[in-house]
């Protein structure tokens, strides 16, 4: 029997709806719609189904994760600024136990001090940053591996 197709949730946090117009010198000129289309195409190429969710609200992101926890096998999350302080989001990832990869378009380690801390890092298999949309592709590749391996 062929293996069942995996479904991953790609979650975008606050302000990522403004991609394309938001600080393009940092985040590039691609809109969120274009980014999602590129992710979908990449995922389809390796036989993975993706669903997308963006919200500017911490609770909505958590609710979405809870709602989908039984139907997804992986989470790609760019939590935006929530990355740096949302213990509630961290607990939500830990509570669901879904294998997750943290992605950032920019290199958070080469920017302001406050961006260097990620409170979700420990509950994710890996953190990928500074690679633009390629970071999402790499995250999907990592989760698609069976079982996904933690970075050594
Ligand atoms: C970001 C980096 C965060 O520090 C910032 O708050 C964002 C975007 C990134 O993709 O580089 O909103 O997650």
Q: What is the pLDDT of residues 46-64, one digit of tens each?
A: 999 999 999 999 999 999 9
pLDDT at position 98, please?
97
109: tokens are 């380690």
82-91: average pLDDT: 98
The rounded Å distance from CA 148 to ligand 1 centre is 24
46: tokens are 């390796």
The residue contributing the CA closest to ligand 1 atom 2 is 80
Give residue limits of the domains in the chain.
Answer: 6-144
**Cβ atoms of residues 90 and 100 within 8 Å:** no
Q: Is the pLDDT of residue 1 over 90?
A: no
pLDDT at position 120, please?
98
- pLDDT digit string (tens) for 118-150? 999 999 999 999 999 999 999 999 999 977 776
**6-144 has which CATH code?**
3.40.50.9100
Of the residues 82, 105, 111, 132, which should be mutated to test ligand 1's pocket, given the most ligand atoms within 8 Å of the CB? Answer: 105
pTM, entire model: 0.96
pLDDT at position 118, please?
98
91-103: average pLDDT: 98
Q: Please tell me the distance from the alpha carbon of residue 77 to that of residue 11, in angstroms, as a whole number.
A: 5
Q: Residue 68: which residues within 8 A CB-CB, separation 6 or more?
A: 9, 51
Q: Which residues are catalytic?
A: 27, 104
């Amino acid at each position: 029997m062929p293996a069942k197709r995996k479904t991953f949730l790609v979650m975008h946090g606050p302000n990522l709806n403004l991609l394309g117009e938001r600080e393009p010198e940092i985040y590039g000129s691609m809109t969120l719609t274009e980014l999602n289309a590129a992710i979908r195409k990449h995922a389809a190429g390796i036989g993975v189904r993706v669903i997308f969710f963006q919200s500017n609200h911490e609770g909505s992101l958590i609710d979405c994760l809870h709602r989908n926890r039984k139907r997804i096998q992986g989470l790609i999350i760019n939590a935006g600024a929530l990355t740096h302080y949302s213990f509630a989001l961290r607990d939500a990832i830990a509570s669901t136990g879904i294998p997750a990869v943290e992605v950032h378009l920019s290199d958070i380690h080469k920017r302001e001090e406050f961006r260097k801390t990620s409170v979700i890092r420990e509950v994710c298999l890996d953190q990928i940053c500074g690679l633009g949309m390629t970071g999402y592709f790499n995250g999907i590749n990592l989760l698609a591996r069976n079982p996904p391996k933690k970075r050594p």
